[in-house]
Amino acid sequence: MELELRHFRIICAIADAGSITKAAAALGLAQPALTAQLHRVERALGGALFERDRRGARVTPLGELVLARARLLLPAVSDLREEAARFASAGATGDTPTRLRLASANGPVLGALVHQVSATYPDLLVTTHASWSSEQLAGMVADGRIDYTLVGVCGDAPPPSRPGLLWRTLATDPVFVMLAEDHPLADRSVVDLADLAGTHWGATPGDGCFAECFAAACARAGFTPKTLYETDTASCVDLVESGDAVVLCQPTFRQTPGIVTRPIAGNPLRWRSLIGWHPEGTAVGFADQVVKLAGAAYLDVVARSPQYTEFLRSHPTFGVERV
């Protein structure tokens, strides 16, 4: 029997799990099928790789040798595949890729970007991934698992810390507040932060400095904020509707019955939308077009909000980045 990569993955899985039963569950295989494959591998290698009893599976001396080679081989093959893909795309600058892997942290632009890409390149396969963590998404770009990611950072904060990635600012927006339509301040066109002292707050989660910047803005307004609940968008809306919290939100938040969004006087909090990619990524030759389409997607999102469209007319320093 010729050994294949899947056989080395099996050996690593059993060693890591310490049990054939647990390894089978992790690999999505039936336990008898995994046992049969292990027996075939052991026959091909000339000896037992694991000692098995009721306590689990322990690596034999021969197993230690094979396991050490497997742990070197599998990452090397994975790296080879990524390098080969990048090499194959080198020199394809400007060419349309066959697939595009997009990701986004909290924000409404991803859906609009998918629409822009699909409308412009109907034969291009687009896949998406979402996460609240900008650092996680930057890591996925660095590892070659996604091609482009949309993230947000607070104010003048730097992009996620992964070195070597390229970043372009798409837009800078103020942070608005989300209120129930029967809130005492809902009839105002602009809300003073100090008038919300004493309330509880909500926001979607992130891994940047937004919570600290918000606390600093409240201190400048003369108060210390109560609890800042970090939760998903639907739960933020529930908190507002129930009157349990006022939520900090992007000005492009789509209007919901019973909910209003309002600017904060002086615009003390800002949010920058960025797009990032790897300079050696498989779709790097498509970067200029993706940035252009992402800018168009942002404008599509803004156009859905008459209130924010009007706000931008009198606040030209905010909005899409001019290049």
| Domains of the chain, residue spans | 5-89, 99-173+271-320, 176-268
Q: Give dist(CA 52, CA 31) in Å, integer.
A: 14
What is the identity of the amino acid at 48?
A: A
Domains 99-173+271-320 and 176-268 share a fold: yes
3-state SS assignment for residue 107: coil
Question: What are the start-end ranges of the E strands in the chain?
Answer: 50-53, 56-59, 99-104, 125-130, 148-154, 166-174, 176-180, 201-203, 228-230, 246-249, 259-263, 270-277, 319-320
The answer on pLDDT for 283 being more than 70 is yes
pLDDT value at residue 28: 81
* % of the chain exceeding 90 in pLDDT: 66
Residue 107's pLDDT is what? Answer: 74
- Burial classification of residue 250, based on how many CB atoms lie within 10 Å of its CB (0-12 exposed, 13-18 middle, 19 or more buried): buried
Assign 93 a pLDDT band (cuts: 50, 70, 90).
Answer: very low
CATH of domain 99-173+271-320: 3.40.190.10
Q: What is the pLDDT of residue 322?
A: 63
Sign of CA dihedral 277, 278, 283, 286: positive
DSSP class per residue in 119-138:
HH-TTSEEEEEE-S-HHHHH
- Residue type for 246, please? V
The CATH code that applies to domain 176-268 is 3.40.190.10
Task: Tell the residue number behind the tokens 């001396």, with chain if given.
Answer: 61
Could you read off the pLDDT of 248-262 as tens digits, one per residue?
999 998 878 899 999
| Domain boundaries 5-89, CATH class | mainly alpha
**What are the Cα distances from residue 246, in Å, to 92, 185, 233?**
49, 11, 13
Whether the model clears a pTM of 0.75, i.e. scores above it, the answer is no
